[in-house]
Structure 1
Amino acid sequence: MTIDPWVDGRIDALNEYLIAAGVLSPSSPESRFWRGTLNRVPRHLFVPRRAWMQPQDDREEGLIDRDTDPAFWYHTVYSNTALITQRGDGTADVADRSGPPTSSTSSPHVVFEFLRLLNPQDEHRVLEIGTGTGWTAALLAERVGDSQVTTVEVDKSIAEVAAENLKAADYGPTLLVGDGALGAPDHAPYDRVHVTCGVRDIPYAWVEQARPGAVIVMPWMPAHGGWGQRLRLDVLDDGTAEGSFHGTCKYMMMRAQRPEAWPPYPDDGVNGTTWVDPREPWNALDEGFGLHLAIVAPNLTITTAGWEGQEDASSAWVMRLRDIAHRDAWANITARPGQDAQVSQSGGRQLWHTMEATYMEWLRAGRPGPGAYRMTVTPRRQDVWLR
């Protein structure tokens, strides 16, 4: 493959970043292989001419356009930047920020963190859920071979572009259009399952189609609505899977699991106050509290949290809660500096009281971090538990 002259030096710089960030090791054989794939599977072959950049640092978001500014386009593609490649399921322009992001290529940092967790080996059979632009499918094909990779994409138009990208890069994994929650039983059993979309409810089909000893990695996005967790599951010989959490991540949700629009918050409710600053549980979500909340109140979700202007022109920190299983349940918590927080919530299910009690329980347990929690998936349910 002829390397585009615009790429000269950029892949080496990206490799150096991944090593400095601790994503790849300078010495391990597996890391050396993944570093080499950046040359063999150039990312720019899988990025459209126009995309919306979301840098994973303090750079501003914005449009990249290969036709108008190729130097900036290549610089962005080979930096630690996520790229939105579709909005509104294809109904909105990629630069129209009013259109919700519906497909992307993740930042190299995140891509290689997940590949390192997946740890595919020679000749492993791999199922990928969410083809996107095709870059990770090509990386997997480079690792285990074209014939060993099956990748499933729900959006036909995205799949067509991915097929063109893969062909241009000289890769040919099996690319299916369909619902990734069903897996791909005709090509099972799998040694690895690589999920590239956010998942709240883990489809058992992925466990069922994997061999005992297989590994499944995914962005698990709990209902609370904060950042999710990188989850690695080991498939066991009794038809279950069990695993652990490996740091935060944020992904677009699997289309079948996207949250529905919430009805307006009512004006009536049970009013009261709390001494607990709602920013405390919010800031602790990624420290382990989010996983504890998933045990005690798996359907409780935080719809918004942050500073907001008030009618009296002051500012307050506001948290709003809902319950995905009981859509009439709600709570608003408003905190102003130096005052008790004001609480208004539905009478039947008092969501703030649940949040507050769960947070106190987590504190009494000694603030257990994400590494103290486990996930078990069975044919009938999934459970987070504190070991």
Structure 2
Amino acid sequence: MSPDWAKSFQDVPRSHFLPDVMWPHDMTTGLCVAVDKRQDPQAWQRYADSDDPVVTQWDDGAHDGHEPGKVFSSSSSMPSLVFSMLADLDVKPGQRVLEIGTGTGWNAALLAHRLGAGSIVTVEVDGAVAARAREALERFGLPVEVVHGDGFLGYGAGAQRAPYDRVIATCGLRKVPFAWVEQSSAGGVILVPWGTCYGPGEATARLVVAEDRRSASGPFTRPVGFMRMRSQRFVRPRHDEYVPAGAEETADTSFTTLREAELLGTGGFDVIGFALGLRVPGVAHTVDREREGRRAVWFYGRSDRSWAVVVFRAGREEAKVYQSGPRRLWDEVEAARRWWVEQERPSFNRFGLTVDADGGRAWLDSPDNPV
């Protein structure tokens, strides 16, 4: 940890902002188990001090009890990730910061410890989450302004603190709103977890606002995984709407020598899925569980009913492909992977993003080289 943040992390413990009942998330198994401070204070403190992400709300607050809910909807990120993003944000004394996604309030508290509570505005879409964070911040002596509202709009109208020198989002986005650029100062930094609809893969984009404040651009820094902004949540395609009974019998078939690992990579933070999402727009994919040496990977067109599936089987040199619809989705995916290899398998930090009033555009190595 760099010296400029060490004292803040020492003086502002995450434990102060966590609820009595929480669900530490095991990154290896994907499982969450409830820990109750009143029943097992030592275990609760151990997880509070760990480098594990902790789920603090399920199902937008509709969940009750100790058993995990269906979808986690608010959390406290891994401290190592919190530090890495704050380091990328690179705040300076006297700067004003807008945070999108208050969560527990811990991230806002760390910023307030460095810059002063009056320099931070944080926006939270969930009223109950915002109220708990506001109370925790005030109880800790860092009365940051917590706004209950839609962070996609930023917080500029009537706010005396805009333009902001830094904007940081703690939720995943598929579209960065131009309002954040408009509410930033020239040379300001916008740090946002960003990805495509291809899958859950995301990376933090560090965008620097242009002098004319008409755009912001910069490279991706590292792979991350965040809950998505509620207005941009991924809706999983309904398989039966794309592939009704008997559809595979009439689909076009072919074979590929591409291996499963060459398509999927080695884990959730592998760059291959991120790169494919950039090259194959408007396509979502899902990966079936392996069953008896067989795994199917499905692709669904978001603007039509095109679909494709590649079926990998253990011990076989070729995998069978089925595809149907106006788009040849597997052909597009295979071509995208060839492009990635031809570009010498670029990692996250060779890709970048530019945002302006017309939307967002990803690029490789330079804004002049769109993906």
Q: With the length of structure 2 as denominator, give the TM-score of the two structures.
A: 0.90
Task: State the distance in 1 between where 2:31 and 2:275 align.
Answer: 34
Select between 230-239 and 218-227 the one with higher mean Cα deviation. 218-227
Whole-Å separation in 2 of the counterparts to 1:215 and 1:207: 9
The one-letter amino acid of 1:365's match is Q
> Residues 308, 295 of structure 1: CA spacing in aligned structure 2 closer, same or farther, 3 A cutoff?
closer
* SS of match in other structure, 1:246: strand
1:319 alignment partner in structure 2: 297
Shift of 1:366: 1.7
CA drift of 1:123 comes to 1.5
1:279 aligned to 2:261?
A: yes
Any gaps of 5 or more consecutive residues in structure 1? 1-23, 25-30
Match of 2:192 in 1: 218
Contact map agreement 1:295 1:383 (CA 8 A) in 2:
no
What residue in structure 2 maps to residue 136 of structure 1? 107
Aligned partner letter, 1:315? G
Match of 1:78 among 49, 54, 76: 49
Give the whole-Å Cα distance in 1 for the aligned partners of 2:335 and 2:28: 35
Contact 1:322/1:330 (<8 A) preserved: yes
Q: Is 1:44 the equivalent of 2:25?
A: no
For the 8 Å contact 2:293–2:314, the answer to whether it is kept is: no
Identify the match of residue 251 of structure 1 among 221, 226, 229. Answer: 226
Match in the other structure for 2:179:
205
Distance in 1, matches of 2:364 and 2:41, equals 50
State the distance in 2 between where 1:260 and 1:320 align. 15
SS of the aligned residue for 1:360 comes to helix
Change (3 A) 1:297 1:57: closer
Any residues of structure 2 matched to 1:2-81 within 5 Å, and which? 24=1, 31-56=2-27, 61-81=32-52
Distance in 2 (CA, whole Å) between partners of 1:117 and 1:147 is 22
| Contact in 2 for aligned 1:221/1:250 (Cα 8 Å) | no
Q: 2:142 aligns with which of 167, 171, 175?
A: 171
For 1:182 and 1:92, locate their aligned partners in 2 and report how far apart those are by CA, in whole Å: 27
Q: Quick one: distance in 2 between partners of 1:122 and 1:90?
A: 36
After TM superposition, list the pairs within 5 Å mapping 1:287-298 onto structure 2.
Answer: 288-298=271-281
Structure 2 unaligned runs (5+)?
Answer: 366-371
Per the TM alignment, residue 95 of structure 1 is displaced from its structure 2 partner at its CA by 3.9
Q: Number of matched residues? A: 352
What residue is the counterpart of 1:333 in the other structure? 310
Deviation (angstroms), 1:288: 4.1
Q: Which residue identity does 2:68 align to in structure 1?
A: R
The answer on whether the counterparts of 1:166 and 1:172 sit within 8 Å (CA) in structure 2 is: yes
**Distance (Å, rounded) in 2 between the aligned partners of 1:143 and 1:222:** 33
Contact in 2 for aligned 1:245/1:370 (Cα 8 Å): yes
CA distance in 1: counterparts of 2:173 and 2:43, whole angstroms = 33
The alignment's TM-score, normalised by the length of structure 1, stands at 0.86
Shift of 1:59: 10
Instruction: Output one character per residue of 1:194-228: Cα deviation in whole Å (capped at 9) or x when no partner.
Output: 10000111111111110111011111122221421
* Mapped partners of 2:54, 2:127: distance in 1: 20
Rounded to whole Å, the distance in 1 between the matches of 2:110 and 2:352 is: 29
Q: Residues of 2 paired with 1:283 and 1:94: CA distance? A: 37
Cα gap change, 1:216 to 1:90, in 2 (>3 Å):
same
One-letter amino acid of the structure 2 residue matched with residue 192 of structure 1:
R
2:119 to 138, 148, 157: 148
2:331 maps to 1:348? no
Correspondence 1:370 to 2:348 = yes
Tell me the CA shift for residue 323 of structure 1: 2.6
Secondary structure of residue in 2 paired with 1:319:
strand
Q: Alignment partner for residue 71 of structure 2, among 71, 79, 100?
A: 100
> Structure 2: which amino acid aligns with 1:336?
R
Residues 292-343 of structure 1 deviation map (CA, whole Å, 9 limit, x = unaligned): 43442222222x225432xxxx3312211123333x2222211002322122
State whether residues 126 and 193 of structure 1, in contact with CA within 8 Å, keep that contact through their aligned partners in structure 2: yes
How much does 1:39 deviate? 2.9
Q: Which residue does 2:337 correspond to in 1?
A: 359
SS of structure 2 residue aligned to 1:198: coil
Match among 168, 179, 182 for residue 194 of structure 1: 168
Identify if the C-alpha distance between structure 1 residues 35 and 58 changes in structure 2 by more than 3 Å, giving closer, same or farther: farther
Cα separation, 2, equivalents of 1:79 and 1:96: 21
Per-residue deviation, 1:286: 5.0
AA aligned to 1:188 is A
